């Protein structure tokens, strides 16, 4: 399921990422706006959530997982990824992020398989390091696809 959602259309790389964390979340969400998985208000809800709650979306070294509530403008379950270089500070320099995931979920349960697969991917240090060193969208797609094949 994860490799169905994270593909060439939903993964981006920005190797000139001189932006702030809000811009990174906005850019990471662009593929989901384009494919109509989310609405503009969902992007703003993700940003406002970080402003209110701090850098809680920093789920591991170099990794952020932006999301909000389904009622904030979700049309369907989706995931996107933006890889940034150099790292972008999430709120402050203690939270440097290179892998920006965005998740949209239509309810509290339908996305659990996606979360599980993403947790397995991000729990594999070798895969994360491969993602951090990947230089193309194709490389990232292959890493994600290979992780899903290992799960079967």
Return the active site residues: 67
Asked if omega into 123 is within 30° of 0 (cis), the reply is no
Count of C-beta atoms within a 10 Å radius of residue 112: 10
CA 120 – CA 19 distance, rounded (Å): 29
Give the side-chain half-sphere CA count within 13 A for 141: 11
CA 111 – CA 10 distance, rounded (Å): 17
Q: How does DSSP classify residue 72?
A: G
Count of C-beta atoms within a 10 Å radius of residue 44: 17
134: left (phi over 0), alpha (psi -120 to 50) or beta: beta
């Amino acid at each position: 399921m994860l490799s169905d959602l994270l593909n060439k259309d939903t993964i981006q790389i920005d190797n000139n990422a001189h932006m702030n964390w809000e811009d990174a979340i906005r850019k990471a969400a662009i593929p989901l706006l384009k494919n109509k998985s989310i609405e503009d208000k969902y992007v703003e809800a993700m940003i406002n959530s970080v402003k209110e709650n701090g850098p809680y979306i920093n789920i591991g070294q170099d990794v952020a997982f932006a999301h909000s509530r389904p009622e904030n403008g979700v049309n369907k379950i989706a995931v996107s990824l933006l890889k940034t270089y150099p790292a972008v500070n999430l709120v402050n320099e203690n939270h440097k992020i290179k892998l920006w995931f965005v998740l949209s979920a239509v309810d509290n349960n339908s996305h659990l398989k996606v979360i599980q697969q993403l947790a397995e991917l991000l729990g594999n240090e070798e895969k994360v390091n491969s993602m951090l060193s990947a230089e193309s969208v194709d490389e990232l797609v292959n890493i994600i696809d290979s992780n899903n094949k290992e799960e079967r």
